[in-house]
Amino acid sequence: MTVLRVPALAGAACLTLTLPLVPLPASAEPAGATRIVSLTMPRKAEAHWAARHFTVSGVVQQWNGTRWAPLAGEHVRLYWRMKGAKAWRADVDAFTTRDGSFRTGTGIVLGTWSVQVRIVPPDGITTEGGPVATTTINDKVRFYETNRAGSHGYTHIRGEMTDYDGAYTFASTRGRKVKLYYRRKGAKTWHYYKTATVAKDERFSFLDLKRGKGYWFRMVFPAQGPFLAATSRTF
The confidence score (pLDDT) of residue 3 equals 45
Please tell me whether residues 119 and 157 are part of one structural domain: no
Indicate whether 70 belongs to any domain.
yes
Does 147 lie in the same domain as 119?
A: no
What is the per-residue pLDDT for 170?
A: 97
**Pair 114, 151 in one domain:** no
pLDDT of residue 213: 86
Q: Closest Cα partner for 44 from 139, 130, 116?
A: 139
Residue 24, domain member (yes or no): no
Identify whether residues 191 and 149 lie together within a single domain.
yes
Total count of domains within the chain = 2
The pLDDT assigned to 2 comes to 45
Give yes or no: residues 107 and 45 share one domain.
Answer: yes
Q: Assess whether 159 and 99 both reside in one domain.
A: no
The predicted pLDDT at position 82 comes to 98
Quick one: pLDDT at residue 4?
45
In a domain, 185, yes or no: yes
Whether residue 157 sits in one domain with residue 133 = no
In this structure, the answer to whether residues 134 and 146 fall within a common structural domain is: no
**Strand residues in the chain grouped as ranges (E):** 2-6, 15-19, 34-40, 44-46, 55-63, 68-70, 75-82, 89-95, 101-105, 111-119, 132-138, 142-151, 154-162, 177-184, 191-197, 203-209, 215-221, 230-231
Say yes or no: 39 and 73 in one domain. yes
Distance CA 218, CA 211 (A): 13
Same structural domain, 153 and 204: yes
What pTM does this model have? Answer: 0.81
168 and 100 within one domain: no
> Do the Cβ atoms of 149 and 178 come closer than 8 Å?
no
Domain that residue 95 falls in:
34-138
Q: Note down pLDDT in tens along the chain; length 235 residues.
A: 444 454 544 454 444 444 454 444 445 678 889 999 999 999 999 999 999 999 999 999 999 999 999 999 999 999 999 999 999 999 999 999 999 999 999 999 999 999 999 999 998 888 888 999 999 999 999 999 999 998 888 999 999 999 999 999 999 999 999 999 999 999 999 999 999 999 999 999 999 999 888 999 999 999 999 999 999 999 9
| End-of-domain residue from the set 114, 138, 162 | 138
CATH number of the domain at 192, please: 2.60.40.10
Give me the pLDDT at residue 31, please.
81
Is residue 1, in this structure, part of any structural domain at all? no
